[in-house]
Amino acid sequence: MKHQVRMLATLTSMGLLLFSGSAVAKKDKASDDLKGKKGTVQVIVQFNGPMTDAKLAKVHNKASAKKGTLKNIRSTVVEIDAATAVDLADDSDIDFISIDREVRAAQVAASPDSAGGLFPVNFGFDGKGIGIAVLDSGLRTEVEDVKSRIVYSESFVGGPDWKDSYGHGSFVGSMISGDGAKSKGLYPGIARGAHLINLRVLDKDGSGTDSAVIAAIQRAIELRTTYNIRVMNISLGRPVRESFTTDPLCRAVEAAWRAGIVVVVAAGNFGRTEATQGYGTITSPGNSPFVITVGAMRTNSTVTRADDVMTTYSSKGPTQIDRIVKPDLVAPGNRIVSSDTPGDSTLYKEAKSNRVSKDYLRLNGTSMAAPIVSAAAALLLQKTPTLTPDQVKARLMRTATKTFPIQTTVVDPTVNKTFVLNYDIFTVGAGYLDIEAALRSTELSSGAALSPTAAPNPSDGTVTLVTGSNVVWGNNIIWGSNIIWGSNTLRGNNIIWGSNIIWGSNTVAAYNIIWGSNIIWGSNVTWGSNIIWGTTTGLGPMSVTLNGDPQ
């Protein structure tokens, strides 16, 4: 199906062409970041067809060390000379070779004051019997709120220790199924009856690798039947380096999706990227069209939705390289309180102002929005166990609230900047998660729920949402594009459509401006306390002033 959106094209002076003729740039079989490397590197080698001993031997004979295999994406992980790896990519048995890249947890600094629990409400379902794989920094049995929910633990970060030393994983796990016992029910999870499969992929600093995440995904697939794993939460990511069709992380989450697991991924926290007004900053594997990619809303610490607005840091689409429409939907992700490791995690030690009590922290980020959607998916699956991942995704998007202001202006005096948020399809996706509406719905989609591609047309100034022939959005009036994304979010906007960065034909140059600088991906700014600070001083959805807390 194609849905056209009229746009106002405003050329900027960034030196790139406005449009390209193809939505997906053609790539060779060695990733761009590999070509620039010298010396020994750790790489993921993906094979064409079955991963035979003969194919493995070709690679292992040229490698200095073997690091393991990733059967779910027909790959081997090796240490090898970078130049040798680039030459090896020309072999007909090789599908793609990329660096085993770093991934990071997708949270940002938080405010010190307490605002009360988000979801003490009882939805009538608690996720009982549903297994949720949490790929994160681990879970600790010492965390009172979740210790009874953990049914399996394994570490993919060097050594057998699966316990959470960073604090991010325990926070996420408690958001999903914590009972809120240490807070006397003030800070419970949403799917309090679900059980957790603890797959540690991040170290004490919140950092990991592609191969660790992929190995954990492989294990979740293997354990799917044993623990009824129906949902997977991935609150981490890294920059998009190539098309989702060759990105090893994207291939791994697609394998999980096809195995019957709903995969929920954080969108990323790069919405303040000035070069593109935050557009084109979705991280991998959130750029996969299969998964549910989640952006973060700010609740203003109230129960009503009327004053809720987008956070300034939530990453926006379309995705780099493929121009996939992302995020798929948004959920609360700002100033969230949840249980953490008791006193000795990295986050607890370093983020002292984030402490709500000795057992609870407050964090912000799309990392916090994703587990709310994961928990919602568990409730849907408890109610209707026969739902497929595509049906869960479609129902959550179909029932999402689509009432937003056209635009929010956010002033942050601490960095002397004004941020303008447009509530378009690349900012809020299909809308704001509505768990009650999703549980009330009985509509069943048929076909895939792949996120569409945004295709610009330079001849008439339109943008087309392109979906495949077997995609649910085009099947009938119930699941049509207007119903899923809403007419307001599809309206053309000169800030979105006029950006040379988003639609530039020179994808390498566009990539460099967004991801090629330490200003954007560097630890000082990305994880620093001074980038995303401010508090609301009023409920007005059109104009917000920030002066102290991350928003």
**Alpha-carbon separation of residue 327 from 27, 152, 262, 335, 436 (angstroms):** 24, 30, 16, 20, 21
At 328 the pLDDT is 97
Contact status, residue 339 vs residue 359, Cβ threshold 8 Å: yes
Catalytic residue among 75, 183, 367, 499: 367
- Give catalytic status of residue 367 as yes or no: yes
- Coil, strand, or helix at residue 152? strand
- Give catalytic status of residue 3 as yes or no: no
The predicted model scores a pTM of: 0.85
The encoded tokens of residue 310 equal: 């987008």
End-to-end Cα separation, the chain, in angstroms: 37
Query: What's the CA dihedral at 42, 44, 47, 51 to 10 degrees?
Result: 80
Q: What is the mean pLDDT of each run of 10 residues along the chain (551 residues)?
A: 30 24 53 92 95 95 94 95 95 95 73 36 85 93 74 86 84 86 78 94 91 97 98 95 95 98 96 86 96 91 76 92 94 81 74 76 88 96 97 95 87 81 90 93 91 78 76 77 70 48 48 45 31 25 39 56
What is the CATH architecture assignment of 32-103?
2-Layer Sandwich (3.30)
Residue 312's beta-bridge partner residues? none
Q: For 340-378, b where at least 16 C-beta lie within 10 A, e where not — what string?
A: bbeeebbbbeebeebbbeebbbbbbbbbbbbbbbbbbbb
Catalytic residue among 136, 340, 390, 434: 136
Phi/psi region, residue 129 (left: phi>0; alpha: psi -120 to 50; beta: rest), is left
Domain range 104-400+408-449, CATH class: alpha beta
Q: Where are the domains of the chain?
A: 32-103, 104-400+408-449
Catalytic residue among 164, 168, 247, 359: 168
Contact status, residue 143 vs residue 182, Cβ threshold 8 Å: no
